């Protein structure tokens, strides 16, 4: 137990973490260009936020939350998603009182107690955005286009964008009734959970992963058949804007999404080829959520993308990552008596903004050179007592093997000059 991590979690080790840093760098740049500000909410929240926000009949709330009582006997939940926390923060900090729309983004770990498999973890990471305060269908289109823009900046191709309108509280009751009528005659084909859901939230049956329920709902009525005029014109406007932006989409009338807060636009992006867990992102509008969380009637829309699944897809599509910068220079000491000066010199180089390191294991000069080679450092500065007396170091170019004496007071500048030449 002491040396095993909990199932469904991972360590992101050096070698891998640079890919994450690159991904985060591309995301942060994208968000700046689209006018989003970062928000960081707590990893845990009051359980009620998700029960009310995500929906009590969803898989997430029914079976996937990490919920526990804290020492003060409060029910606490590790966040399974980022939208409800963003809404809570928007209300708690009265962001609705400032200029609208408010455009927020987040990157961070989420927690769901699900059966782990390739692409599905119990701790995973999402990049998400939320926009509060605008009904404009142009925002829906822009949000979708932004997600697609990120994938294309990362070099991903052959993705499928599925989009649907799940209606609003005005058209939902009609659909609800039609679904109840439809499934009532197929009760014996539904899983016990869905039989139970039929009365409370029949829409959830369309999202059930049980084979029998998938089969039973094949010809079920869909939201598009019963949209109210306002939802229809909103959806048509979104699709028109997407066409104008050159974003290819497929209208998927069976798309319902696994969270209850959606109204109007709902979308999901699939990466065929990464296995069963091929949804690399999804989102939609949630015009009733702010109000359901106790705030004013303010509309919202957003999405979240799974970072592990994006990385999996990048690997599967053979996309290479930029080489992370390593050390600029390694300081090797030829004489144990020079250790003190080596320490000071490395510190000075770092103060000049260079990435510098040295030996801490008392290695011989030969072993230090070998170690520097393993670190793939381009330059090694060799410090011996004779060189020290003369105020110089020998600077070796590891690629060519050529070596040159450099006065100590010029060492930083010389390294910078050579690194600039390489970069």
Nearer of residues 20 and 371 to ligand HAM, judged by Cβ: 20
Sole binder of ligand HAM in the list 18, 24, 62, 114 (CB under 6 A) = 114
Nearer of residues 234 and 396 to ligand HAM, judged by Cβ: 234
Distance CA 135, CA 417 (A): 54
Sole binder of ligand HAM in the list 148, 168, 280, 311 (CB under 6 A) = 280
Distance CA 126, CA 283 (A): 12
| C-beta of residue 304 within 8 angstroms of C-beta of residue 82 | yes
CB of 300 to ligand HAM, least distance (A): 8
Task: Decide: helix, strand or coil at residue 335.
Answer: coil
Question: From the CB of residue 108, how many other CB atoms can be counted at a distance below 10 Å?
Answer: 16
Distance CA 412, CA 168 (A): 64
Sole binder of ligand HAM in the list 50, 90, 106, 124 (CB under 6 A) = 124
Which residues does residue 330 pair with via DSSP β-bridges, in sequence order? 357, 380
Q: Does 283 bind ligand HAM (CB under 6 A)?
A: yes
Sole binder of ligand HAM in the list 58, 83, 217, 222 (CB under 6 A) = 83
Sole binder of ligand HAM in the list 53, 55, 82, 378 (CB under 6 A) = 82
Q: Does 279 bind ligand HAM (CB under 6 A)?
A: yes
Place of tokens 């709330």: 61
Sole binder of ligand HAM in the list 163, 303, 314, 395 (CB under 6 A) = 303
Place of tokens 């959806």: 235
- Alpha-carbon Rg for the chain, nearest whole angstrom, is 28
| Position of minimal CB gap to ligand HAM | 306
Question: From the CB of residue 256, how many other CB atoms can be counted at a distance below 10 Å?
Answer: 22
- 115-to-61, 62, 277 alpha-carbon distances in Å: 15, 14, 12
Q: Does 313 bind ligand HAM (CB under 6 A)?
A: no
Binding marks (x or -) toward ligand HAM, 190..209, rule CB under 6 A? Answer: --------------------
Q: Does 121 bind ligand HAM (CB under 6 A)?
A: yes
Q: Does 127 bind ligand HAM (CB under 6 A)?
A: no
Number of shown-chain residues binding ligand HAM (CB under 6 A) = 26
Half-sphere exposure at residue 277, Cβ-oriented, CA atoms within 13 angstroms = 17
CB of 174 to ligand HAM, least distance (A): 24
Nearer of residues 186 and 197 to ligand HAM, judged by Cβ: 197
Task: Pick the closest to residue 333 from 346, 342, 324 (CA basis).
Answer: 342
Q: Does 306 bind ligand HAM (CB under 6 A)?
A: yes
Nearer of residues 140 and 387 to ligand HAM, judged by Cβ: 140
Sole binder of ligand HAM in the list 309, 312, 379, 383 (CB under 6 A) = 309
Q: Does 304 bind ligand HAM (CB under 6 A)?
A: yes
| C-beta of residue 69 within 8 angstroms of C-beta of residue 75 | yes
Q: Does 160 bind ligand HAM (CB under 6 A)?
A: no
Distance CA 413, CA 68 (A): 56
Sole binder of ligand HAM in the list 53, 128, 167, 288 (CB under 6 A) = 128
Residue range at the interface with ligand HAM (CB under 6 A); choices 122-130, 321-329, 361-369, 405-413: 122-130
- 400-to-314, 365, 393, 395 alpha-carbon distances in Å: 34, 19, 18, 12
Look at the alpha carbons of 307, 308, 310, 314 in this order and tell me if their dihedral is positive or negative.
positive
| C-beta of residue 257 within 8 angstroms of C-beta of residue 285 | no
CB of 109 to ligand HAM, least distance (A): 10
Residues that bind ligand HAM (CB under 6 A): 81-83, 112, 114, 120-121, 124, 126, 128, 130, 258-259, 279-284, 302-306, 308-309
């Amino acid at each position: 137990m002491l040396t095993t991590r909990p199932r469904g979690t991972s360590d992101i080790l050096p070698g891998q973490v640079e890919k994450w840093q690159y991904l985060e760098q591309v995301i942060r740049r994208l968000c700046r260009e689209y006018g989003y500000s970062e928000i960081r909410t707590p990893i845990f929240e009051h359980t009620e936020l998700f029960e009310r926000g995500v929906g009590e009949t969803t898989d997430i709330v029914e079976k996937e939350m990490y919920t526990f009582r804290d020492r003060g006997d409060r029910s606490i939940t590790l966040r399974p998603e980022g939208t409800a926390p963003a809404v809570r923060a928007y209300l708690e900090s009265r962001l609705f009182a400032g200029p609208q729309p408010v455009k927020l983004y987040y990157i961070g770990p989420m927690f769901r107690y699900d059966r782990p498999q390739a692409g599905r973890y119990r701790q995973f990471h999402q990049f998400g955005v939320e926009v509060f305060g605008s009904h404009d269908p142009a925002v829906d289109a822009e949000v979708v286009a932004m997600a697609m823009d990120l994938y294309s900046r990362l070099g991903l191709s052959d993705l499928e964008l599925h989009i649907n309108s799940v209606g609003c509280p005005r058209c939902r009751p009609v659909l609800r009734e039609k679904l109840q009528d439809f499934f009532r005659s197929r009760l014996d084909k539904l899983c016990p959970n869905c039989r139970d859901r039929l009365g409370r939230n029949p829409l959830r049956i369309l999202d059930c992963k049980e084979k029998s329920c998938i089969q039973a709902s094949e010809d079920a009525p869909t939201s598009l058949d019963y949209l109210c005029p306002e939802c229809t014109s909103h959806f048509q406007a979104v699709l028109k804007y997407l066409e104008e932006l050159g974003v290819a989409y497929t209208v998927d009338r069976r798309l319902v999404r696994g969270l209850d807060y959606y109204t109007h636009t709902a979308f999901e992006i699939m990466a065929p080829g990464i296995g069963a867990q091929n949804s690399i992102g999804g989102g939609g509008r949630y015009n009733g959520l702010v109000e359901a969380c106790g705030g004013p009637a303010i509309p919202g829309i957003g999405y979240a993308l799974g970072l592990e699944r994006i990385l999996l897809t990048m690997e599967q599509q053979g996309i290479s990552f930029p080489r992370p910068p390593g050390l600029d220079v390694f300081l090797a000491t030829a004489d144990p008596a020079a250790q003190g000066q080596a320490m000071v010199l490395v510190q000075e180089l770092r103060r000049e903004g260079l990435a510098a390191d040295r030996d801490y294991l008392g290695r011989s000069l030969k072993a230090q050179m070998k170690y520097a080679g393993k670190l793939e450092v381009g330059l090694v500065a060799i410090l011996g007592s004779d060189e020290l007396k003369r105020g110089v170091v020998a600077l070796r170019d590891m690629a060519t093997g050529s070596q040159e004496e450099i006065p100590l007071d010029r060492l930083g500048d010389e390294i910078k000059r050579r690194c600039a030449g390489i970069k």
